[in-house]
Amino acid sequence: MNSIINIPEIFGSDVFNESVMKERLQPEIYNSWKDCIANGSPLELNVANEIAEAMKIWAIEKGATHYTHWFQPMTGITAEKHDSFISPAPDGQVLMEFSGKSLVRGEPDASSFPSGGLRATFEARGYTAWDPTAFAFVREGSLYIPTCFFSYTGAALDMKTPLLRSIDEVSRETVRILRLFGDTQTKRVIASVGAEQEYFLLPKDLYAQREDLRLTGRTLFGALPPKGQELEDHYFGTIRTRVVGFMQDLDEQLWRLGVLSKTKHNEAAPCQHELAPIYSDANSACDANQLTMQVMKKCAAKHNLVCLLHEKPFAGVNGSGKHNNWSLTTDSGRNLFSPGKTPSQNAQFLVFLAAFIKGIDEYQDFLRCTVASAGNDHRLGANEAPPAIVSIFLGDELTAVVESIVNGTNYTDPEKSLLRIGVDVLPSIPKDTTDRNRTSPLAFTGNKFEFRMLGSSQSIADTNVALNTIMAEELGQFADELENAEDFDAALQALVCRTLTEHQRIIFNGNGYSDEWKAEAQRRGLSNLNSTAKCLPSYISQKNIDLVTKHGIFNEAEFRARHEIHLESYCKNINIEALTSIDMVLHQILPAAMAYSKDLCDGILAKDQLGISCKAERSLAGRLSEIGDRLYQNCEKMRSNLSGIPANTEDAVAYYHDVIVSGMEALRTDADLLEQLTDKKYWPYPTYSDLLFY
Ligand code: ADP
Ligand code: MG
């Protein structure tokens, strides 16, 4: 661990990446693969066979004995089933075999992955197919092959398939716009993503003593400690030695796997940290984020820590999110969200900006729904970053530009008349302007948009599907209009001006936490979907169905299946939390409080005989009993409420949200009161102080 590591040497050393392929494949095989990823042409079986053979030899050299098709089912995490390379040979020997067929296609027994009703039992099998645009890698003795997962009828059963479809769509429509600006070279545009990951680390032994953490990933109970994060002494603070060891190990493992882990620091809450990678194409970024989360969990265990990826492990301190930085980059590396230096570059930038603003305004609900989950409900709209209302922060400079276009007024420079798009140069828009608005859910940060509503445990796939598809739709509409224009400059000016005028309401640079903003947003007609239960009905609105089917991201059945899975997953999560709450109340919390109050009462009897005053004991015992009685009653009520869950899943979501979640809050209030009144030596599990300030 303390040995010096040579990062360039280890970086990607466990990945079957482009340079390994170039080195190990015949040139014509390598070129066929390149052609396949550049143009989407199919891989011939002989090519697949050659690649499989080279991959196998390389993987065995790296110590692999097995291979696995690694996929991302709609649970939002990844799945794998390992097959060894062995195949029987004469004389009781074995050969190490791996064919092109096994590389390209797999058939995991997948009947228990959620399908949202897409798979009838008679066709329960799912298939996996190699995604040749993502690199295979070796980890813990297995060759991991990134794959898509789909049903017998070809319906997407995973997160990767729609992501790949959306990546193609946004590329296609963006290239149309570039052509209008005279770019004849760009063949592909890459949706670029950098996902910052927040997480908590706790000592394993403390974690193990908390049933709620073990079963639900968050604390269902726990009185607030005397100290929270108010001193702000953790953010960017010195990192604990044990955590430093974990982080070094984590980085090394991620680098070996080709993950561009770049930044690490302490976050706002005690025990909270963040890892940020360098951005890459959206597909790789999504795979890398899944790997990061897995490696974090395993690596933590090695260091006697537990990594919590839940959105809200602790009440009263910050939750964890994921910042999804998103932009569009040409195949020659030009960032299309960089304000340019020439009038024409600026005009092009304004087209992309206008398309983004229009898209987010029109499809704010869709974007919001991609991050709806039971865990994320504790963050979005719950007095914590960011709010549930989708809006865009542009910063002062860019907002001034937008306003001058909309109002036809002078821009900041009083000498200058109306800003004419495509003729005038925009003022340079500095990166990191003003102090960046941390309360905004979607901020322009110089040359990219940072979407901050994602929950820490969620896959980034759905969000990027939404961003890509929305952008593809708007750019497509713009291209239709501009391609037919007689006077391009005039049409451009009219389009940008009209679009910004119509969709200006989504821009908001103020404090996103304030009540004034909630009222203002309502006046502007923006939606405020502050719970999963409120979100899910709008997920499958006709507008969203039209969008995703038009672009071939989902067919209607696939899209409805996702909705169904969202509903089911919400209900299951809340149900587990409710049952765990009851269990802890009856088996741990009440017994502890009762044992203490019994001892108090014994003491009172003894003191009474001696005529010694015992007001404190009496008062304490009285309060413990009163709160305990209420807690027990609410527990029974919860139990009976849980037996009345509506059969229809949509109704069930509303019921879980309205009845069960608030019932759990009531249990918590009393349980936390008991914790505060009970002698610590009776208390059955580590408290917030124990956990957060170990
Ligand atoms: P922060 O202050 O939020 O940490 P950074 O500039 O460090 O901002 O960037 C955060 C993330 O954004 C990193 O993952 C980084 O690689 C990514 N990023 C930077 N530029 C782009 C871009 N053009 N497109 C997408 N992601 C980007
Ligand atoms: Mg950030």
DSSP string, 370-429: TT--TTGGGTTTTTSSS-SB--BB--HHHHHHHHHHHHT---SSTTS-SPPTTTSPPPP-
In 491-576, at which residue ranges do the beta strands (DSSP E only) sit?
Answer: none
What whole-number distance in Å separates Cα of residue 230 and Cα of residue 316? 11
pLDDT in tens, 603-613: 999 999 999 99
Ligand 1: nearest atom to the Cα of 193: 25
Question: Which structure tokens are listed for 545?
Answer: 């169905």
Q: Which residue has the higher pLDDT, 238 or 554?
A: 554
CA distances from 78 to 197, 205, 260 (A): 17, 27, 20
Tell me: the pLDDT tens digits for 360-369?
999 999 999 9
Whether 13 is in the pocket of ligand 1, judged by its Cβ within 6 Å, is no
Gap between the Cα atoms of 36 and 31, Å rounded: 8
**CB of 338 sitting under 6 A from ligand 1:** no
359 touches 475 (CB < 8 A): no
Sign of CA dihedral 512, 518, 524, 527: positive
Query: How many whole angstroms from 552 Cα to the centroid of ligand 2?
Result: 31
Task: Give the ligand 1 atom nearest the CA of 436.
Answer: 2
The answer, yes or no, to whether any atom of ligand 1 lies below 6 A from the CB of 327, is yes
Look up residue 256 and give its amino acid: R
Our measurement of the distance from residue 163's CA atom to the centroid of its chain's CA atoms, rounded to an integer in Å, reads 14
Does residue 386 have a cis peptide bond before it, meaning omega lies within 30 degrees of 0? yes
Contact 321 CB / ligand 1 (< 6 Å): no
Neighbour-count burial of 259, counting CB atoms closer than 10 A to its CB (0-12 exposed, 13-18 middle, 19+ buried): buried
Q: Which ligand is nearest to the CA of 325?
A: 1
Best of 190, 235, 325, 440 for a ligand 1 pocket test (most atoms within 8 Å of beta carbon): 325
In the reported structure, the alpha carbon of residue 557 is separated from the centroid of ligand 2 by a whole-number distance in angstroms of 35
Name the residue at shortest CA distance from atom 4 of ligand 1.
276
In angstroms, rounded to a whole number, what is the distance separating the alpha carbons of residues 541 and 563? 11
Our answer on whether the CB atom of 278 is closer than 6 Å to any ligand 1 atom is: yes
pLDDT at 629: 98
**If you average pLDDT over residues 463-476, what whole number do you get?**
98
List b or e across 473-498, with b for residues whose CB sees 16 or more CB atoms inside 10 angstroms: bbbbbbbeebeeeeeeeebbbebbbe
Chain-centroid distance of CA 52 in Å reads 32
- Residue 306 alpha carbon to ligand 1 centre in Å: 27
Q: Which of 279, 289, 445, 451 to mutate to test the pocket of ligand 1 (most atoms within 8 A of CB)?
A: 279
Q: Are strands 449-455 and 442-444 parallel, antiparallel or unpaired?
A: antiparallel
- For residue 142 and ligand 1, the question of a CB distance below 6 A is answered with no
Q: Which residues contact 218 (CB under 8 A, 6 or more apart)?
A: 212, 308, 310, 311, 312, 313, 314, 375, 378
Neighbours of 641 (CB within 10 A): 16
When pLDDT is averaged across residues 645-668 and rounded to a whole number, the result is 97
CA 528 – CA 387 distance, rounded (Å): 9
Ligand 2 centroid, distance to 445 Cα (angstroms): 9
Is the distance from the beta carbon of residue 146 to the nearest atom of ligand 1 less than 6 Å?
A: no
Tokens (6 digits) for 215: 């079963």
Relative to the alpha carbon of 449, which ligand is closest?
Answer: 1
d(CA 612, CA 174): 84
How far is the centre of ligand 2, averaged over its atoms, from the C-alpha of 549 (Å)? Answer: 32
Is-contact 539 531, C-beta < 8 A?
A: no
Of 296-300, 408-412, 543-547, which gets the smallest average pLDDT? 408-412
Q: Whose CA is nearest to atom 6 of ligand 1?
A: 445
Ligand 1 centroid–CA 435 distance in Å is 16
**Model confidence pLDDT, tens digit, residues 343-387:** 777 899 999 999 999 999 999 999 999 999 999 999 997 777 789
For residue 413, pLDDT beyond 60: no
Closest C-alpha residue for ligand 1 atom 14:
194
Residue (of 386, 616, 363) closest to 466 by Cα position? 363
Alpha carbon of residue 657 to chain centroid = 22
Of 116, 126, 131, the closest CA to residue 151 belongs to 126
Count Cβ atoms below 10 Å from residue 207 Cβ, excluding itself. 18
pLDDT digits (tens, 9 = 90+) for 199-228: 999 999 999 999 999 999 999 999 998 877
Q: Tell whether ligand 1 has an atom less than 6 A from the beta carbon of residue 460.
A: no
Closest ligand (CA of 277): 1
CA distance 578 to 663: 8
With the most atoms of ligand 1 within 8 angstroms of its CB, the residue from 280, 448, 452 to mutate is 448
The pLDDT of residue 437 is above 90: no
Ligand 1 neighbourhood includes 322 CB (under 6 angstroms): no
The pLDDT, as a whole number, for residue 537 is 92
Output the CA 352–ligand 2 centroid distance in Å. Answer: 22
Residue 434 scores a pLDDT above 60: no
443 Cα–ligand 1 center, Å? 12
Cβ of 335 closer than 6 Å to ligand 1, yes or no, is yes
Q: What are phi and psi of 626, to 5 degrees?
A: -65, -45
- In this prediction, residue 400 has a pLDDT band, given cuts at 50, 70 and 90, of confident
Contact 477, 170 (CB under 8 A): no
User: What are 179-197's pLDDT values in tens digits?
Assistant: 999 999 999 999 999 999 9
Verify whether ligand 1 is closer than 6 Å to residue 336 (CB atom): no
Ligand 1 atom having least distance to the Cα of 195: 14
Ligand number, closest to the Cα atom of 451? 2
What the chain holds in terms of domains, given with CATH numbers, is 7-158 (3.10.20.70), 167-554 (3.30.590.10), 569-692 (1.20.120.1560)
pTM of the complete model beyond 0.85: yes
- pLDDT surpasses 90 at 470: yes
Query: Distance between CA 486 and CA 478 in Å, rounded?
Result: 14
Q: Whose CA is nearest to atom 19 of ligand 1?
A: 279
Q: What is the pLDDT of residues 263-305, one digit of tens each?
A: 988 887 889 999 999 999 999 999 999 999 999 999 999 999 9
Is residue 449 within 6 Å of ligand 1 at its C-beta? no
Residue position matching structure tokens 């309060």: 623
Beta carbon of 325 within 6 Å of any ligand 1 atom: yes
| CA of residue 684 to ligand 2 center, whole Å | 38
Gyration radius of the chain over CA positions: 28
Which ligand places an atom closest to the C-alpha of 447?
Answer: 1
Whether 447 lines ligand 1, by a CB cut-off of 6 Å, is: yes
